[in-house]
Each structure stands twice: as C-alpha cells, then as structure tokens.
C-alpha cells in the first residue's frame, strides 16, 4: 500500500475535481464561497439523514442483521432524498442571492449566472460527498497492509477511488440539471435527477444480491466471515472501521452488476471457470466470486483459453 496507492487513489478520486476547481472556481471568490456553502448544505443533509438513521438503529434490535441492512438501505434512500431536498433549498438561496447581486451591481447584471452557480454548487456537493467517502480510506492507505489478504477484493481501494470520482462528476452534473429544471420549471428533469441519484446509490444493494444467484460458483469458496479479522497492531490503538470493510468480501456495485449481467448472459460460465484449475492460481479465491471485476474481465479469456 503506502504512498503509491495513496497518491494513485487520491488522484483518481479527486484529480478531475481539483482540476475543475483550480481552473474554473479558484479564481473567483464568489464561486469559492458558493462551493463552500454547497459543501455545507450537503453536510447538513448528511447530518440530518444520519440522525434519522441513528434513531432508527437505536430503536431497533441490533442483532437482527436483515433489519439492520434494511435500515441502512432506508437510510441511504432517505439520505439521497434529503440531499436533493437540500439541493433545492440551495437553489432557492442562490436565486435570492442573484437577485441581491443584481440589485447591487452597477450595470444591472449579476457577476455570476445561475448556470455557473449550478455548476459550482454541484462541484461543492460532489467534493464533500467524495471527501466523506474517501478521506478515511486514503488515510488508511498510507499505512502498511495488504489489500484483500484474506481473500477479499484486492481492488477495493481502486474501485472506491473510481466510484468517488464518478460520484463527484455525477453530483456536478446533477447540480446543473437540477438547477436547470428548477429554472425552467421542468419537473421531469428534477425527478430524473432524483431517480438517477436513487439508482446509483441503490446499485450496491442490487449488487450485493448477486452472489446468491450463482450458488455453484461459491460452493468451495472460503468466504471470510464477519466480523473482520483482528486488526494489525498498528491499527489497534485506533480501530478504524475502514479496515473492517477493507477485509470484507463485498465488492463494489459495478463489478457485481457486471457479474450479474455476464452471469445471466453466459449461463453456467462461472461454474466452468471454477472448474478450470489453472486459472485458479493467479486469482486465488477471487475468481469464483462474481463481484470482483478482475475476474469478470477475465471470464471471456478463461473461456477462450481454458487451459
């Protein structure tokens, strides 16, 4: 891990966003303020949604795994809806701000247009969302360790970094679309944004159902059981939960989805892949679980050259 992974994942996750920031936002103080305020609005929405989730969790039985999972799904959906609600509130605030800016300006036009504000607000939401998803992961990536040493995905950091980058871009685009929809009273745009957001956040849930669809492929896979193995000594003073999921066997949403698609298309291919002995070695126990996109990418190759 250490520096190479840290820098690689940082630049994958935040490189494009920082490029956008430096070249389009950093020069104008007004845009920086809008960015920070956008980040603040996202933060407040997250706070409220995690409050609701926390209350729900505390009021429920902690032993019931399915219930906890269901509550988490509910928390995610509620958080998405709250984020979009706060995006709307932010739109209202920025509209008022534009009126004020116009009133204060000398030539009657605002120094910044609503479209630019929409873009900056989207970047603000995205950066904060990405930072909250990724920062702890990056901090852990700096320390020693091996990703996927217990049979989990070795690409956890990488998939997280890519997913974060995607999320930042999506928030930016959603911001632009949302504000445009609000501006022109096109409610279908707004609902489209909300539905897209729900879809993207909900993909993981769908992806996590994927393993159960190929039971044969998973028969002889030693699935690491929860809870995660004991943390290495350098982590024990500060048990970061991030390492728990580092060792978890759930992959990202996309690999699972691809695996699902490929599995449904290719029928029994996973089983045949599992039976090809020589392919097992390079991937260890990974090749049998369809979540890991490294294996899925290799499925066609496996079929073509089964030796």
Partner 1 sequence: MTELSAHLPQFQHGQLTENFPDTHLSNTNDNSERRRHDNSERRRNDNAESETNGQPQSNVQQVVEQDEEEDEELTLKYGAKHVIMLFVPVTLCMVVVVATIKSVSFYTRKDGQLIYTPFTEDTETVGQRALNSILNAAIMISVIIVMTILLVVLYKYRCYKVIHGWLIISSLLLLFFFSFIYLGEVFKTYNVAMDYITVALMIWNFGVVGMICIHWKGPLRLQQAYLIMISALMALVFIKYLPEWTAWLILAVISVYDLIAVLCPKGPLRMLVETAQERNETLFPALIYSSTMIWLVNMAEEDPEAQRKSKNSTSDKQAPASRTQNEDAEADDGGFSQEWQQQRDNRIGPIESTPESRAAVQALPSNSQTSEDPEERGVKLGLGDFIFYSVLVGKASATASGDWNTTLACFVAILIGLCLTLLLLAIFKKALPALPISITFGLVFYFATDNLVQPFMDQLAFHQFYI
Chain residues in the site for partner 1 (CB under 8 A): 29-30, 32-34, 36-37, 39-40, 43, 46-47, 49-51, 53-54, 57, 69, 72, 75-76, 79-80, 83, 93-94, 96-97, 99-101, 103-106, 111, 128-129, 131-133, 135-137, 139, 159-160, 163-164, 167, 200-201, 204-205, 208, 238, 240-242, 244-245, 248, 250-253
* CB-based contacts of 173, cutoff 8 Å, min separation 6: 122
Nearer to partner 1, 147 or 200 (CB): 200
Distance in Å, CB of 167 to partner 1, minimum: 5
Q: How far is the CB of 36 from partner 1 (least distance, A)?
A: 5
CB of 20 to partner 1, least distance (A): 18
Query: Residues 220, 288: contact at Cβ < 8 Å?
Result: yes
By beta-carbon proximity to partner 1, the closer residue of 133 and 271 is 133
Q: How far is the CB of 273 from partner 1 (least distance, A)?
A: 24
Pick 269 or 295: Cβ nearer partner 1: 295
The radius of gyration of the chain from alpha carbons, rounded to an integer in Å, stands at 22
In the complex, what is the shortest distance from the CB of residue 174 to partner 1, in angstroms, rounded to a whole number? 12
Q: Which is nearer to partner 1, 47 or 297 (CB)?
A: 47
Considering the complex, state which of residue 56 and residue 266 has its C-beta at the smaller distance from partner 1: 56
Q: How far is the CB of 76 from partner 1 (least distance, A)?
A: 5
Q: Which CB, 1 or 101, lies closer to partner 1?
A: 101
Q: How far is the CB of 189 from partner 1 (least distance, A)?
A: 21
Return the closest-CA partner of residue 183 out of 98, 126, 261.
98
Return d(Cα 183, Cα 222) in angstroms, integer.
54
DSSP string covering the chain, please? -HHHHHHHHHHHHHHHHHHHIIIIITT-HHHHHHHHHHHHHHHHHHHHHHHHHHHHHHTS-TT-HHHHHHHHHHHHHHHHHHHHHHHHHHHHHHHHHHHHHHHHSSSSS-SS-HHHHHHHHHHHHHHHHHHHHHHHHHHHHTSS--TTTTSS-TTHHHHHHHHHHHHHHHHHHHHHHHHHHHHTT-HHHHHHHHHHHHHHHHHHHHHHTGGGG-TGGGTT--PPPSSPPPPPHHHHTS--HHHHHHS-----HHHHHHHHHHHHHHTTHHHHHHH-GGGHHHHTTGGGSTT-HHHHHHHHHHHH---
With respect to partner 1, which residue has the nearer C-beta, 42 or 299?
Answer: 42
**What is the smallest separation between the CB atom of 77 and partner 1, expressed in angstroms?**
9
User: Nearer to partner 1 by C-beta: 78 or 271?
Assistant: 78
d(CA 92, CA 248): 42
């Amino acid at each position: 891990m250490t520096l190479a992974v840290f820098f690689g994942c940082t630049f994958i996750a935040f490189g494009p966003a920082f490029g956008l920031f430096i070249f389009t936002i950093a020069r104008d103080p007004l845009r920086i303020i809008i960015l920070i305020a956008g980040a603040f609005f996202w933060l407040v929405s997250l706070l409220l949604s995690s409050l609701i989730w926390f209350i729900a969790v505390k009021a429920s039985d902690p032993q019931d795994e399915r219930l906890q999972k269901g509550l988490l799904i509910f928390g995610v959906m509620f958080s998405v809806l709250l984020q979009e609600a706060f995006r709307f509130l932010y739109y209202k605030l920025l509209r008022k701000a534009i009126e004020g800016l116009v009133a204060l300006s000398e030539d009657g036009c605002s120094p910044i247009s609503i479209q630019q504000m929409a873009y900056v607000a989207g970047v603000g939401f995205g950066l904060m969302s990405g930072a909250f998803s990724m920062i702890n992961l990056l901090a852990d990536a700096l320390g020693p360790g091996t990703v996927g040493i217990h049979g989990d995905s070795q690409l956890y950091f990488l998939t997280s970094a890519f997913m974060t980058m995607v999320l930042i871009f999506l928030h930016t685009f959603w911001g632009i679309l949302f504000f445009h929809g609000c501006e022109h009273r096109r409610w279908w745009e707004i609902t489209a944004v909300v539905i897209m957001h729900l879809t993207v956040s909900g993909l993981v849930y769908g992806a996590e159902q994927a393993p159960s669809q190929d039971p044969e492929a998973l028969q002889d896979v030693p699935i690491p059981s929860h809870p995660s193995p004991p943390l290495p000594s350098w982590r024990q003073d500060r048990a970061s939960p991030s390492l728990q999921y580092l060792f978890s066997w759930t992959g990202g949403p996309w690999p699972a989805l691809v695996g699902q698609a490929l599995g449904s298309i290719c029928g029994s291919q996973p089983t045949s892949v599992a039976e090809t002995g020589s392919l097992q070695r390079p991937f260890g126990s990974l090749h049998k679980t369809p979540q890991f996109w490294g294996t899925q990418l290799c499925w066609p190759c496996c079929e073509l050259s089964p030796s």
